[in-house]
Structure 1
Amino acid sequence: MFNAVPRHFGALPARTPTISSIPRSQFPPNRHYSSSLTSRYGNLQRHYRYLPTSHFSQVRSYKTSMERFREEMREGSRGIWRKHPIGLPLMILAASMSMVMLGFAIHGHRRRREFLSKFPAPVTDQLRKAVYYTEIDLKPAEAMMWYKRALIAADQIDMHPFSDEVVGIRLKAVEMLERAELVIPAAQTLEKIRADCRQWVINGRRKQIIQEKERAGKGASEKVDPEATEEENQLRQREELEGRFRDRAIKRTVGAGIKLGELYASDYIRDLEKAEKALSGAVEDGIAELQRRRQLDLPVLSEEGEDHLNLKEVATAYTELADLYTKRGKHDLATILYIQALPLVKEDEGASTTCAQVVLLNNVASQIAEQAHHIPPASATPPTPPSAQQTGASGDVLLPQSREQLLDAATQWAKKALDVAEHIKSPIRDEECDQACLAATYNLGELAEMKREFSLARRFYEESRSLAKAQGFKKGVKKADEALKRVKDL
């Protein structure tokens, strides 16, 4: 092929002899030699007579269009970087941000479409405008007006007032108010939803009990009427539907209480009394519902697609109230609630232990240690019998009384947290578990320091420092360094 021609052949000497440049007087008389030389150079002249001179200066390379495109792009990119060293990165960043925003817009559109697809057309017409003034152009007054019109339209077409769709509209209005930082109106609206759901559940279950008693009072000897039987079946189907709605309503009641505790404790309101009241109500509602379901032998575990209140949600209500007590300095009450939440989590998880148990165990240890901090070292409080340190005769949680007992109990809870975490492996083990182990290890150091076991305290502090460094937790490293400095010379 032509591409295989060596370069020295393409770069012939500039003064290559031809027939016309050789004087005839120099040809030897030998005709055979003359004709051979003439034939050689004559052929060379005829072969290259019509080729351009530049052909011999380089070898032509044949490239595909893709290769030429890549070369042009490479040359162009080098030129762009040289000419626009600042503008080009900014342009790339702007393009990336535009793509991200486009992705969010597509996701939001899909989510809004799924939300609106649940409603009939008369409701959707009103709700679409409400969602627009919630997520696209936030205007609380206009959005609330359209939410109310959507609820009126739902009532006109006889949608159930406590169905998922109608209650969802009311909760969407709460979300809109919170997004607009109108937290007090959001809390008031949520309080109304919570009260309505609770009262409807109470009235409905009373009515259900009366109906069951009436059915039981009817004699079995009565003549069976096919039409009455069909009506009875339809009535039972409606009651089953109402029962599912009530299960979801009480589930929302507990959830609304937890959310109200968050809103009242936020920086917008800062009313811890109302937050405590809302969370206490959520705990009470959760306990009552669990007791009812256990008595009726109904499921209480958390399952996919469930409609009922489960153990994990009640445990969440316990822990939220305990966290609030921790903020208010009521460490004894917080300890009791954490301990009461632990068996609910264990029962729900079964053999598949998760990091939630580790966090609860460490929280118990932390709260008991806080109680010990408030007791002077020389306290002579009478010790509590070991058998009564956990639960009393009525099942209530009883805690140690003396400082030494509190320190020993906190140490046991912290070590238990580390033992449970040791058996949790990836992928179940997550960052939350690592942070709980770090906190438990540091707590063990503080507890040993309070017991004046300084060598043991240094060991736990050094271990907590290593864990904090491995997790990239700079604040934890700093705190461990301060603790090590404190017990260095003791």
Structure 2
Amino acid sequence: MSISAVASLRPVRGQCLRHATTGLLSVQVKSPAATVHLRAVVALRPEQKRHQSTSQTPQDKDSAPGKPQITFRQFAGRALGVSLRNLVVALSPRGIRQSYRESPGVTTLNVLLLLFTFVFSAVAIRAYINTFYNSQFSRYPEPVANTLRRAIYYTNIKPDPELALRYYKKAMEQCAEVGLDPFSDEVLGIRIQVAFWLEKINSHKAAIDVLESVLGDCRKWIDVMEQSVKDGKVDNEGRYVGDAQKAAAVEAASDGKTSKADNAATPAEPSETLWHKRERLLSKAISTSVKLGELYADEHVLNPDKSHTHLVWAVETSLKEFRRRKIEGPKPGEEKWLSPEELGGSMESLGRDYERRSQFQLAIPLFFQALRLCESPCHRAVIMNNLAAAFAQQPLYAAGTMEPSEGLKELLDASMPTTRKECLEAGLNWAQNAYVHAKDVTGDDRTPECDEACAVALCNWGDVAAMLGKTELAKKKYEQCIEMSNTMQFPEGVKQAQQGLARLMSGSLVKA
């Protein structure tokens, strides 16, 4: 006979999700003859109590409040903050010492790289500010300045002729919109900058057209102003006679456009006088004319007649203005006239033009005047070399031929050597002076121009010595020029000296 029993204990139905304190005990006793079921409600011990489940049902998840979402800006800010804090800790003396103890080599390399990064960043930021936020841009209204920054970017940083020209044109349009005087230094400066940029990209014809328009506008305004003075329309204060309306009308007739900036001028900020404006535009016209003379003489243009015309006009006008001021005295608003460097530069350019025309007797006095006005030690040596070359090429000159223009006769009235030998000896002396002068320049005044002047002087010295029949001296100077030019990587000096040495060996030089 066998008997089996099964017992079970479970919480009372309906109490599963709450704290259950009682349970239902079921006992089943089973035998072949009968089956007995026993049930009783009993109290649960603490370890048998069932608590509420912590798992969530789908309904609970839907009803639970969502977690706050973080934006990308917040994430980036927190990440940057953590990175900066870590960087500060790592760069603190304690952090560096600890890192150096753990890995000296890597720490030293990291510090050096960090210092290099700081220095490079400082240099880059300074270059950026000097390029795009210097005093040149601060003179313009902000819209014009921003456009010019883009133009300069596509001119120097990322060259793109089409975009650069577009922004230059836009800047000119904006200048007209904001009412800038078309004859102000700011507006004329943009036009001249465009011309230099066109020359830089080898568009010489377009550069000449721009400069010719600048020169023509300046000369036209000057002519109108001077005619107004003759007609008595300008008072002793350098302003137009009559009321403001008449003055504006006359100004519009000469300028072609009345400046809003002038109309807005107040007594606290008086506009410039007509004489001051004439002085400014005349100086701009002279410098533009000199530049045109150099462009017309360039190998890409080769128009010597126009080059000569512009250079002669620049020098004659400069001297004429000096004479007017000496006789009449300065007018209201006029300041110091051309600086010695500016006047000497125009004379030197005209002297080189006469030299290209083989009119050395006209070039030499101009070089003398330029030398007297030059203040740069290295460039003085260059002018001395020009004198040496001009004297060496000076042929016997018959008086009365190739006379200079009327405005230059007084300037070019200088005594010249009367024989070919005297010319060569003068050339030899000037070559020696150029070499000694360029060699003696030291300190901050010395520039690469001095080194090149030394090499050119040695070559000129050799040329003139060979013409005088001093073969050994000529050979020595040619060899010194070749050695010096190779040292300073001046290929043009090497080429000229080698050609002179070849002529010397072949006996093809013409002696005095």
How many residue pairs get aligned? The number is: 369
Correspondent of 1:149 among 173, 193, 204: 173
Q: Which residue of 2 aligns with 1:69?
A: 99
CA distance in structure 2 between the aligned counterparts of 1:72 and 1:273, rounded to whole angstroms: 78
Summarize the alignment of residues 243-392 of structure 1 with structure 2, pairs less than 5 Å apart: 243-266=275-298, 269-296=301-328, 308-326=337-355, 329-333=356-360, 336-347=362-373, 349=375, 354-371=377-394
**Residue matched to 1:129:** 147
**For each residue in 1:89-110, what CA deviation from the matched residue of structure 2 results, as whole angstroms up to 9, or x when unmatched?**
9xx9999998876554333221
2:359 match: secondary structure: helix
**How far off its partner does 1:316 sit?**
0.9
Distance 1:392 1:115 in 2: 41
Q: 1:421, 1:197 → 2: CA distance?
A: 39
Task: Write out per-residue CA displacement over residues 420-471 of structure 1, whole angstroms, 9 at most, x where no aligned residue.
Answer: 5576554434432343233223322222222222233344445545654664
Does the Cα contact within 8 Å between 1:331 and 1:368 map onto a contact in 2?
no
Task: Report which of the two has the higher share of strand.
Answer: 2
Contact 1:342–1:357 under 8 Å retained in 2: no
Could you tell me which of 420, 423, 431 is aligned with 2:448? 431
- Relative distance call for 1:382 and 1:270 in structure 2 (3 A) is closer
The structure carrying a bigger helix percent of its residues is 1
Indicate yes or no: 2:427 matched with 1:414: no
> Which of residues 464, 473, 478 in structure 2 aligns to 1:456?
473
Q: Give the unaligned 5+ runs of structure 2.
A: 1-92, 238-265, 400-407, 508-512
SS of the residue 2:273 aligns to: helix
Q: What is the one-letter code of the residue matched to 1:435? A: E
Are 1:165 and 2:186 matched, yes or no?
yes
In 2, Cα distance between the equivalents of 1:266 and 1:314? Answer: 21
Residue of structure 2 in register with 1:13 after alignment: none
Mapped contact 1:140–1:176 kept (Cα < 8 A): no
Q: Distance in 2 between matches of 1:100 and 1:260?
A: 37
- The alpha-carbon deviation at position 383 of structure 1 amounts to 9.5
Equivalent residue letter for 1:412: N
Q: Write the distance in 2 (CA, Å) between the matches of 1:448 and 1:427.
A: 33
SS class of match (2:350):
helix
Aligned to 1:36: none
Superposed counterparts of 1:14-33, under 5 Å:
none
1:238 deviates by 6.7
1:205 alignment partner in structure 2? 226
**Pairwise CA distance, 1:249:** 0.9
Cα displacement string for residues 61-120 of structure 1 (whole angstroms, at most 9, x for unaligned residues): xx964234235565548999xxxxxxxx9xx99999988765543332213xx3443245
Distance 1:365 1:325, change over 3 A: same
Residues 431 and 461 in structure 2, CA contact (< 8 A), matched pair in contact too: yes
Secondary structure (helix, strand or coil) at the match of 1:331 reads coil
Code of the residue aligned with 2:365 in structure 1: it is: I
CA distance in structure 2 between the aligned counterparts of 1:297 and 1:418, rounded to whole angstroms: 42
Give the 3-state SS of the residue equivalent to 1:283 in structure 2. helix
TM-score where L is the length of structure 1: 0.59
Q: What amino acid is aligned across from residue 185 of structure 1 in structure 2?
A: A
8 Å contact from structure 1 (residues 289, 309) kept in 2: no
After TM superposition, the score normalised by the length of structure 2 is: 0.57
3-state SS in 1 of match to 2:147: helix
Q: Hey, what's the Cα distance between the residues in 1 that align with 2:495 and 2:271? A: 61
Separation (CA, whole Å) in 1 of partners of 2:200 and 2:398: 52
Partners of 1:144 and 1:481 lie apart in 2 by: 46
Task: Indicate the percent of aligned positions where both proteins have the same amino acid.
Answer: 23
The CA distance in 2 between the partners of 1:336 and 1:251, in whole Å, is 24
Counterpart Cα distance in 2 of 1:116 and 1:479: 44
Counterpart contact for 1:315–1:344, Cα < 8 Å: yes
Unaligned segments of structure 1, at least 5 residues: 1-62, 81-88, 217-233, 300-305, 373-380, 385-390
